Amino acid sequence: MLQRWMGWMGLAFLAGALALSGCGKQRAAFTMAGSTAFQPFAEKLADQYMAVHPDVAITVQGGGSAVGVQAALSGAAQIGMADLVTLPPEAAALKNVVVARDGIAIVVSPKNPVTQLTLDQVRRIFNGEIRTWKALGGEDTPVRVVSREAGSGTRSSFEQIVGNLKLTSEAIIQDSNGTIRETVANDANSIGYLSHGLLNDRIKAVQVDGYLCTEESIMAGHYRLVRPIYLLTRGEPAPTSKAFLDYILSEEGQSMIHSNGLIRAK
């Protein structure tokens, strides 16, 4: 009798496991990939959305804006993410929507006494022409430039807005806004740039042409280092992806974006 009962229990357990497995396969799944600047915001949006839509599974991956464009074009991701002032020509084959705007803050260590730069000084620093902080009113120490890698949307936007910029060969290259932040926070002589949504008290944003990278100065048109955040799809998005895009542009989604440091799309 016991063996028969154990057999029934085993069959019931197996049936339950198969049922759960079947439910898992029925979840509508899609992938977002691209901009590492927008990645942490996309992850929060996805978590918030999936909490009330347990039938949807969203995977968020980084890789940079160039990856976002190519992933959307190839279908490797159903939604590409790109933070670029101007989308590349190949993105003309994709549908795009601006879901936020983002300032690019120029950051130094809080130990650095320099608090303001001109856009021309920023250009000359990253070109490698200005090599000491003394030339900028700081200590007599070398300037260490920290930059994103080629293919980064933040780097492309930064170089496009600053103009006439050929990055110094001595620059320290990092693969995300987060690693830029940590490098600058741990080196009193370094300078970098990152999404203003990722500013914290471990680094210090400097004024550029007399304005800090704040929502107020961006909205007023005073702070010039600003780029849009695009989400990209190949043709009309599938219903599940479209519902998530609609959520991002909804009041709830835009409020979450805004409360975490980015600027609303409208």
In this prediction, residue 25 carries a pLDDT of 53
- For residue 27, the model assigns a pLDDT of 83
| pLDDT at res. 18 | 37
**Whether pLDDT at 11 is above 50:** no
This prediction has a pTM of: 0.84
Residue 35 domain-assigned? yes
15 by DSSP, 3-state: which? helix
Question: What percentage of the chain has pLDDT greater than the value 70?
Answer: 90
Q: Identify residue 125 by its one-letter amino acid code.
A: I
Phi, psi of 230 (to 5 degrees): -105, 145
Q: Quick one: 113 and 178 in the same domain?
A: yes
Place of tokens 């599940």: 240
Q: Do the strands 28-34 and 56-63 form a parallel or antiparallel pair, or are they unpaired?
A: parallel
How far is Cα 253 from Cα 49, in angstroms, rounded to an integer?
9
Whether residues 36 and 118 fall in one domain: no
In angstroms, rounded to a whole number, what is the distance separating the alpha carbons of residues 147 and 232?
25
- 137 with 47, same domain? no
Domain assignment of residue 69, given as a range: 29-101+228-264
Residue with tokens 């016991």: 2
Domain shared by 113 and 219, yes or no: yes
Q: Report helix, strand or coil for 98.
A: strand
Q: Are residues 163 and 193 in the same domain?
A: yes
Residue 242 pLDDT exceeds 90: yes
Q: Are residues 187 and 239 in the same domain?
A: no
Determine whether 189 is exposed, middle or buried from the number of CB atoms within 10 Å of its CB (0-12, 13-18, 19+).
middle
CA-based angle 133:104:36, to the nearest 5? 115
The pLDDT, as a whole number, for residue 43 is 98
Q: Is the same domain home to 220 and 115? A: yes
pLDDT of residue 55: 97
* Pairing assessment for the beta strands 207-208 and 190-195 based on DSSP bridges: unpaired
Q: Is residue 87 part of a domain?
A: yes
pLDDT tens-place string over residues 129-170? 999 999 999 999 999 999 999 999 999 999 999 999 999 999
For residues 244 and 49, give the distance between their C-alpha atoms in angstroms, rounded to a whole number.
8
Q: What is the pLDDT of residues 29-62, one digit of tens each?
A: 999 999 999 999 999 999 999 999 999 999 999 9
In a domain, 110, yes or no: yes
- Is the pLDDT at 227 greater than 90, yes or no? yes
How high is the pLDDT of residue 35? 95
> How many structural domains is the chain composed of?
2
Band of pLDDT at residue 8, cut at 50, 70 and 90: very low
Task: Say which CATH number the domain at 90 has.
Answer: 3.40.190.10
State the pLDDT at residue 197: 87
Neighbours of 107 (CB within 10 A): 26
Residue 23 lies in a domain: no
Any residues with CB less than 8 A from the CB of 127 and at least 6 apart, and which? 165, 166, 167, 168
In a domain, 180, yes or no: yes
| Rounded Cα distance, 164 and 150, in Å | 16
Least confident window among 9-18, 48-57, 167-176, 222-231 = 9-18
Residues 85 and 156 sit within 8 Å (Cβ to Cβ): yes
pLDDT tens for 79-134 read 999 999 999 999 999 999 999 999 999 999 999 999 999 999 999 999 999 999 99
Residue 257 structure tokens: 């974006």
Asked if residue 213 and residue 132 are part of one domain, the reply reads yes
- DSSP type of residue 171: P
Q: Residue 121 falls within a domain, yes or no? A: yes
Residue in this structure with the two tokens 């690019």, named with its chain if needed = 104
- Are 240 and 257 within one domain? yes
Residues 213 and 116 grouped into a single domain = yes
Domain-embedded: residue 83: yes
Q: What is the pLDDT of residues 66-80, one digit of tens each?
A: 999 999 999 999 999
Q: Are residues 212 and 108 in the same domain?
A: yes
| Whole-number pLDDT of residue 266 | 84
User: By C-alpha distance, which of 210, 123, 195 is closest to 160?
Assistant: 123
